[in-house]
Amino acid sequence: MQDLAITLENKLKSNRLSIPSLPENAIKLRKLAANPNASIKDLTELIAHDASTSAQIVRLAQTLRYSNPGCTITSLNTAITRIGFQGTINLVLAMTILQGYNFHSKTIHKLCKRDNDLSCLISKYAMTAYQNINGNLPQDQADYIALASIFLNIGTLPIYSELDAIERVTQLTISDEQINKWKNELKVKFGLKILENWNFDPSFSQVLDLQLKTSNTSEMNCVIYAARFVEKTKFEDLIPLSQELSDSFVPLPDGAHKEQFIEFLKQNFWLN
């Protein structure tokens, strides 16, 4: 087991690494997004097949990010119109990717769930950072941040898949400490390969190493600020996640958690 990192790196070099496929619904969304003749009606019909996602989109469309206070939206078509065609695609892609991968091992499943929760938290903190640095949070920027945050841990999937297969065959349980070591060594390399295979915009790949660069957009930097904050903060000290996935794609509410994060930005990134 000590050689797992070497084994996986060799598989990557020889194109034998098991790269996860996009979930089926995500593939359909990408095809729809690439169709210049696609309409909101087409997108509504595609999303309507998934009752949970439909409910999340309607719920999100009623938040202050998209609606006036007291505005009631009950129609999926109206919700998508409010959020926008590309914005809805980005958000549903994020939701689909978060929910699209399950593992046999309870240990691996738990670790993957934690990674997903951290990605959701990073999304909220990153949107808060952008809003405070730039004075507002346009829909396109928010939707980009949501998807970029989800991709931060996408490179763990080949590691989890390999470990899940090993545990099914050998019943061997690997320590969280060892798994985290492999993740730290490999997840950026694997994330780059996955996003290349999935043919997403290269800008998403540029945030995986969490390095601030002069070439970074403001959205990228905000994802990095948020990821660094979440990394250094105990999970229980972060804002509690809602049961509703759509609540991950809005900024932090006013309160102590937001104040703590803004102070972190001021101390570390010269935010005035």
The alpha-carbon radius of gyration of the chain (Å, integer) is 19
Q: Looking at residue 11, what is its pLDDT? A: 86
Q: Looking at residue 63, what is its pLDDT? A: 74
Q: Looking at residue 264, what is its pLDDT? A: 93
| Domain-ending residue, one of 66, 100, 134 | 100
Q: Looking at residue 10, what is its pLDDT? A: 86
Name the residue among 185, 200, 192 with its Cα closest to residue 155.
192
Q: Looking at residue 24, what is its pLDDT? A: 86
Q: Looking at residue 200, what is its pLDDT? A: 87
Tell whether 208 and 116 lie within a shared domain.
yes
Tell whether 142 and 267 lie within a shared domain.
yes
Spatial separation of the C-alpha atoms in residues 99 and 198, rounded to whole Å = 17
Spatial separation of the C-alpha atoms in residues 27 and 161, rounded to whole Å = 20
| Domain-ending residue, one of 100, 121, 140 | 100
Segments of the chain scoring below 50 in pLDDT? 272
Tell whether 54 and 171 lie within a shared domain.
no
Tell whether 148 and 253 lie within a shared domain.
yes
Is the separation of the CB atoms in 11 and 17 below 8 Å?
yes
Tell whether 83 and 132 lie within a shared domain.
no
Tell whether 154 and 124 lie within a shared domain.
yes
| Domain-ending residue, one of 68, 83, 100 | 100
Residue 20's H or E segment, with its range, is none
Tell whether 69 and 119 lie within a shared domain.
no
With pLDDT > 90 as the criterion, what percentage of the chain qualifies?
A: 31
CB neighbours of 71 closer than 8 A, spacing ≥ 6? 62
Q: Looking at residue 23, what is its pLDDT? A: 86
Number of domains within the chain: 2
Q: Which domain holds residue 85?
A: 21-100
Query: What tens digit of pLDDT does each residue of 125-157 get?
Result: 999 999 999 999 988 888 889 999 999 999 999
Spatial separation of the C-alpha atoms in residues 161 and 63, rounded to whole Å = 36
Tell whether 15 and 43 lie within a shared domain.
no
Query: Could you tell me the pTM of the whole model?
Result: 0.85
Is the separation of the CB atoms in 147 and 30 below 8 Å?
no
Tell whether 90 and 210 lie within a shared domain.
no
Tell whether 92 and 193 lie within a shared domain.
no
